[in-house]
Amino acid sequence: MIDTRELLKKFEPAKDAKIITADPQVRSARFSPCGKLLVAGGFDGRVRRWNVADEATLELPALEGHHAWIDGVAFRQEGELLFTADSWGQLCCWGSYAAEKPDVNWRLEAAHDGWIRDVAVSPNGQRIASCGSDQLVKIWSIADGGKQAEIAAGRDVLRVLWMPDGSLLTGDDRGFVKHWKDDGSLIRQFDAAPLYTLSRLQDVGGVHALAIDREGKLLAAGGTIPKNGATVTGPPTIFLFDVATGEQKHKLSLGADSDCYVADIHFHDEGFLSVVTYGTPGAGQLLYVLPEEGKPFFTRKMSNLHSISWHPDGKRLAVVATNPGSNGNGRPLDKEGNYVGNKSPIHVFGVSG
Amino acid sequence: MNYSHLCTPTDHVLSRRAILGAAGAIGLGSLLAPTRAAELQKKHKQVLFIWIDGGMSQLESWDPKPNTVFGGPFRAIATSVPGIHVSELLPRSAKIMQHLAIIRSVHTQDNSHSAGVARIQRGDPKNRGVTYPYFGSAVAKLLGPGDSGLPPYVWIKPGSSGFIHQDAGFLGPKFGAVAFGDGKPPENLVLHESLKPEEDDERNTLRQAANARYARGRRKQMGEATSYVYDVARTLMKWQDLFDTSKFDPRDVERYGTHEIGRHMLQARKMLEAGVTFVKVNSYGWDTHGDNFNGHLSLMPKFDQAFAAIVQDLADRSMLDNVLVIAMSEFGRTPRINGHIGRDHWPEAWSVVMAGSGLKRGLVVGETNDKGTFVKGDEHDIGALFHTWFAALGIDSKTVEYDNGGQPLPIAHEGMQAVKELLA
Amino acid sequence: MRLPALRLVAAGTLLLLVGSGSARAEDLAPLHARIDQFITAGAGGPVAGQASDAEFCRRVYLDLAGRIPSLEETRAFLADGDADKRAKLIDRLLASEDHVRRMSQALHVMLMERLGDHAEWQKFLHQSVRANEPWDRIVREILNPNPDDEATRGSALWFTKRLENYGQNPVDIPGLVRDVGRHFLGIDVQCCQCHDHLFVEEYKQEYYQGLFAFVGNTSIRQDVKFPAVGQKPLEKKVEFQSVFVQKPKAVGPKLPGGAEIEIPTFAKGEEFEQQPDKKTRFPGTLKFDTLKLLAEQLPRPDNRPFTRNIANRLWWLVMGRGLVEPLDLGHAGNPPSHPELLDLLAYELAAHQFDMRWLIREIALSQAYQRSSAAADDAAATVPGAKYVVALEKQLASEQLLASIRQALGDGKPLAIDVADKSWTEWQVKFDKALANPPREPEVGHNPTVKAALFFMNDATLLAWIKPEGANLAARLLKQADGAALADELYLSVLSRPPSDEEKAEVASFLAARTDRREKAVTNLIWSLLASNEFCVNH
C-alpha cells in the first residue's frame, strides 16, 4: 500500500512557482531529457525554449519554420535531438536543441495532411511516431526522416506513445485506445468510449491524454465524460486498463462538470498519476491521484492547465496554465486600446524532499 | 442581464399576445403600396435562410487568417474563384465558390445569444415601440405564399414542431413560422382512412359555412386565424410527399449527409421545390466557448456538405436566380483564444455567406485586418444586410413600408442602406 | 402597504350617489351591481343586450362546470320559466362536482403552465377547491409546503417542477423567482429589468433579488417519494450590482414594496431546527426558514399586489380578459382598464377572506358577464375588448374541449367524469398534446394552431367517437327521419342551442340529397359543427 502522506512529503509542489510567461499561448511544454531545457510549442508557429539549468531561466531564440499550432514536442537525448510537429502537417528534427541556433537535421513539410496531434520517440531511439487528423499514424526513421511504416487508424488520432517493447498505443477521438504492432496489425482495443458523445451535430471528446506506467502494464486514458457539445462540459475522467488483458481496472472521476477535460497525464515511477485539467470558464486543477484510490490526494486549483512535464531530476515539474480572465465576449481592449490575446504562464514548481 | 429592446410600453397597452393574436393584427401590417404586390408575384422569389445558432467562427470558415497569432491551427484553401480562400474545413463550398458571395465586414451590436438572435433576425431596426418581425415573417408578408398554397414561412428545426407566431411581431400570427420538428410531418397529417378526399371537402365546406354564420356580428380576428390554420393544414395534407423520407432519392440522402443538418437541408430543398416562399433551417450547438477547434473540425464538414449540396442542386435546377440563400449566425467568434481552447462571442468583425437571387456571384465584399480582429474599411451592420436582401428580392426598402394600423414603419433600419457591391 | 380602505368605500358611495340617487355607506349594492356600474360607465357607448338563454347556459356551464351542458340540461334550462333560473343555475353549478374538477383544472393550468403534473398535486388542488379553501391559504400551502400533511403536501409540485433541470441546463432559479412574482403578485420581476424609464435601476433589481433571497436556496428533496422541497440556510444577503452604476449592493429577503427581513447569524451547525441527515438525505428544517416567512408575508390582505393579482385573474377567468393585461405585468406604466373596479374587487375579495367562489359568483351574476357576445352590427364588433360592450370570446382549455366533445357526442345525459379513469387520462394526454400550449406559455388567449386543425380533421380516436354506436349522438340522429327534428337534436347537442330556420332547412336539404350515404352525411354534419369556431370557443 502506497502511503500518500509519504508521497506528498516527497513530491508536493511548492506553494510558489517560478513563472515563465509564454506570449502568445503555448500548449505542450516539455523538459528535455538532459534537464537543460524547457521547450514549448505555441499557437504562433514558433518553438519556444528556456534554459532551466540556472535560476535566470533565460529564453533562447525561438525556432522558426513551423506554421500555426505546434502540439507535438519530443526529444532524444543522444544527439540532443528535438522533434516538433505542427497543425499544418510539418514534422521537423532539430539537432543540438540547446544551441543558440540548432540545425535542422531534416524537415518534412507534409508529413501528414493537416493537424499532427502528437509525436513520440521510440524506446530504442531509432524511430519517431506521429499521428493526426488525417487518421494516420506514421513511423519515421530518426536518422533521415524516411517513412518506415503507416497505420490507417480510421479515426482522428489524438495521442500516440510507444510501449517498452516497440509496439504502439494510440488514443482517438471516439474514446478508443488501440494497441498496435508496428506493422499496423491491431493487438487489442481498449474501450474508453464514455469519453466521447455525439451531441446534435458534434462529435465531442475522445482520448485527450494518454500515459503508461514505467513497465507498460497499466495505461491511463483521460478526457471528459461530455455532457454536451458547443461549450463542452463534463467531469474530467481517466480510465485505467490492464494492458495485457484489456480489462478496465479503474475509473477516476476528477471534478465537476465545469472542470471538463483531463489535458495531460504523467505516470510517476512511484505509482501515482499527476494530472492537469482545464475547464470552463477558468477552471483548472493540478492533481495527484493513486489509481486504486479514485479521489486525488493532492489538488491545487489553477487557471486552465494544458500540460505537465516532470524534470528528469525528479525535483521539478512544469505546468502550462493560462492567464486568469482569459474568457470574454465582445471587445476587451488594453489601456492603449489594443486588442490583446491571452498568455500561457508556465509554472515551474520545485517539489519538497 | 440584458436590456431587452423588445419590451416596450406599447406592448402593455395592447398586450403582447393581443398584438400577436387578436386586436386587429390581421389586417395590420399591410403594404402601403399595394400595386407592388402584383409585380412581385410575377417571378415568385424565395429565400433559404440557414441559421447557425450559437456563432460559427469566421476564422474557421469564411475569413481564415492562417498562421497568425489568432488564426488557430487550420490552413486556408484556394477556391474555384482565384484569389478567394476559405478555411480548409470548407472543401466542398470552396469548389462552388463561383456561386457564392461572402461579406467579411459585418459588425453588429449585440454579443449575447438571448437578445442577439432576435435582434439579428429582426434586422435590428430603430426602436419604434413595436416588435419587428423576423426576416422570415417579413418576407412571408412582403412576397406572400405564391401559388403553392403552402405556408409562406416554414422552419425546419431539431426538436418540436409548432406554429411559432412570435416570429411575426406586429405583423400578426398569420406570418409566423410553421415549424417542422426534425423535418417530420406534423401529427395527423394523413387524411383519415375512413374518409375520401371528396368527403373531406364536404365536411370542410360545411365547417366554413358554419363559421361564416357564426362570424356575423363578431370580431374578425379569431375567425380569420382559425380559417388560416385550417387552410394551411389542408394544404399540408395534400403535400404529404414533402415529408415522406422514403420517397427521397437515396443518392440525395447520401450526398447531403445523414446527419441532422444534411437531412434538414434536403427537406428544405423539397420545400423550396414545392414553392414555399421562405424556408429557414436551424442548426444548434455552435457556441464553442470551449474546445472550439475540435468542435469546428467536427461541425464544419457537416455544414459544408449540406450547404454545398443544396447550393449546387439549386444551381442545377435553375433555381438559384430566384432563390436567395443566406447562411449566418448571430455573431462571429473572438480572435482571442481563451483558456479552455475556445473562442467567445465576437460581433465586431464577422462574415455572412450568401448566394442566389439578385446577388453578384463568386466574390468577397469587405475585409478584416491582418489579424482578423476588426473590420478594415467600411463596416456593415445587419440593417445594411436587410436592405441588401430586400433589394436582391426586388423589394425597394427605401419606399416600401409596413402599415401598422396607420403607423408607417420602414422594413429595414432607416439609417442604413444596401451593400451595393453585393447586388447584381 | 395598507389599503386606503376608507377612500375606496367613499369612492363607491360617490358612484352610487351619481348613479342611483341616494345611498348610505351601509346600503351598498351587491358587488355584481357595482361591477355593472363601472363597466357601463367605461363603455363609452351602447352595449350589447343580454345573451340569450342558450348562449348564457352554454357559457356558464363551460366557465363553472368545465363542459358544455348536456342535451337534457340544455332543453331543461330553455324550457324553465323561473325568472331566477340564471342565478339558480349559477349556484347549482358552483356546488357541483363538475365545478371541483373545472376549478382544479383552471388552477392547474394557471399555476403549472403545463410543466408537469402529479397525483399529489391533483389531490391538493381537488381538496382545496372542494372545501372552497380561500386563496390566501392555498398560496401559503404552495409557498411553504407541509410535507407532514398528506392532503396538501402535493402543493410542493409548484416548486419541484421548477427546480428540475432540463437536459444539460442548470436549474432555472431565475424562472422560479419570476414565477413567484407572476403568479402570486401579478408582477414579472424579470420584465421589470427592461423598464428603466419607469423604475429606478436599483428598485427593479431589488424586486428580483429580494424575492430570490426567499426562494434561491430551495431544492428538490431526494429522501421522500412525494414532491417536497428542501432548503439550505440563507447565510447572507444576496449580492448584486447595478449594470449602469458599478456599485455593489446587497439585499435580504424582501417582497416588492415590503420591508427587508434581517438575516440572523448562527454558529455553524446551529441553523437547523432538525439537523440534516447525510445518510437519509433529509435536508433538515431551518430555524430561519425563508419559505415560511414568504408564506407568512406574501398572501396577506394588506399586500396590494397580492390581492389585485387574484382579483384580476378571477376576473380574467370568467370575463376573458384581465383588467390588467397581460395578467403578470402589473406596474405603473401598465394601468388597469378599470382602475377603481380592480381596487373594488381586490378590496371586496380580501374582505371576504379570499373566498374565490364568492367572487366568481358575483361576477357571474353581473350583466357584464351575461352580455351577448354578438354585436348588433359590425361597427360595434370592432370596439376594443377592454370596454366589455360585448362579452368576450374565451379560448377553451384542452380539458374543457375533451369534456365538451365527449358530452356533445354522448347519449345526451350529463357526463359523469372521472379524471382518474385510465381512458379519460389517456384521452386528456392526447388532447393536451394537440391543443395545449408548450410548457411556460400561459394559455390566456386564442391561439389556433395547425396542429389542432390536423387533430380535429384526422385524429382516429376523435373520429371514432363521431361514428354511430350505441346511444351516442350519431346513432340517435340516424334514427331521426324528420330533418327538422334531426337538426334540433344535432344543434342542441353540439352547439347547445336550437337551430335557426335557415339551419333547419339546410340540414334537411343536405340530408335529402344524400340518402344513399346517410351515415357519412350525418357524421360530416356532426364533425362540421364540432370543428366550427362556434363550438371551439366559449362565447
The DSSP letter of residue B241 is G
Q: Could you tell me the CA-to-CA distances from C172 to B266, C219, C221, C332 in Å, in that order?
A: 36, 11, 17, 28
Q: Is the pLDDT of residue B18 over 60?
A: no
Residues of B in contact with A326 (CB under 8 A): 336, 338-339
Per CATH, the homologous superfamily of domain A36-191 is YVTN repeat-like/Quinoprotein amine dehydrogenase (2.130.10.10)
Of B229-243, C174-188, C387-401, least confident by mean pLDDT is B229-243
Cell numbers for C430: 392526447
Question: What pLDDT is attached to residue C445?
Answer: 77
Residues 438 through 457 of chain C touching chain B, CB cutoff 8 Å = 438, 444-455, 457
Q: Tens digits of per-residue pLDDT, B302-320? A: 999 999 999 999 999 999 9
Task: Report how far residue B218's alpha carbon sits from residue B54's, in angstroms, rounded to the nearest whole number.
Answer: 45
Closest CA to A137 of A186, A194, A76: A186
Contacts by residues C82-86 (CB-CB < 8 Å, ≥ 24 positions apart): C86/C56, C86/C60, C86/C370
pLDDT band at C380 (very low <50, low <70, confident <90, very high): low
Question: What pLDDT is attached to residue C134?
Answer: 98
Closest CA to B161 of B179, B175, B174: B179
Question: What pLDDT is attached to residue B12?
Answer: 34
**Contacts B–C by Cβ distance under 8 A:** 163
Of A342-351, C314-323, C448-457, least confident by mean pLDDT is C448-457
- How many other C-beta atoms lie within 10 A of the C-beta of residue B376? 14
Cell numbers for C525: 354534419
Mutation target vs B (from C204, C454, C496, C530; most B CBs, 10 A cutoff): C454
Q: Which residue of C has its CA nearest to A233?
A: C168
Q: Tens digits of per-residue pLDDT, B224-274? A: 888 888 988 898 888 888 888 888 899 999 999 999 999 999 999 999 999
C513 CA to chain B: closest CA distance, Å? Answer: 13
Sequence-ordered list of residues with C-beta below 8 angstroms from that of A238, at least 6 positions apart, any chain: A209, A220, A221, A222, A250, A251, A252, A254, A262, A265, A273, A275, A289
Contact predicate C169/A228, CB 8 Å: no
Neighbours of chain A (3+ CB pairs under 8 A): B, C
Domain map (residue ranges) of chain A: 1-25+218-353, 36-191
Task: Report how far residue C150's alpha carbon sits from residue C447's, in angstroms, rounded to the nearest whole number.
Answer: 38
Q: Is the pLDDT of residue C438 over 90?
A: no
Residues 169 through 228 of chain A touching chain C, CB cutoff 8 Å = 227-228
Q: What percent of chain A has pLDDT over 70?
A: 99
The average confidence (pLDDT) of chain C is 89
Neighbours of chain B (3+ CB pairs under 8 A): A, C
C453/B23 CB distance under 8 A = no
Residues of A in contact with C168 (CB under 8 A): 227-228, 233
Q: Tens digits of per-residue pLDDT, C53-84? A: 999 999 999 999 999 999 999 999 999 999 99
Q: Which residue of C has its CA nearest to B202?
A: C524
Question: How confident is the model over C101-127, as a mean pLDDT?
Answer: 96
Cell numbers for C167: 437536459
pLDDT band at C6 (very low <50, low <70, confident <90, very high): very low
Question: How confident is the model over C112-140, as a mean pLDDT?
Answer: 96
Question: What pLDDT is attached to residue C193?
Answer: 42
Mutation target vs A (from B112, B283, B291; most A CBs, 10 A cutoff): B291
Tell me the ipTM for this assembly.
0.95
Strand blocks (E) in B116-199: 153-157, 162-164, 177-181
Interface check for C44 against chain B (CB to CB < 8 A): the answer is no
Task: Report how far residue A186's alpha carbon sits from residue B385's, in angstroms, rounded to the nearest whole number.
Answer: 54
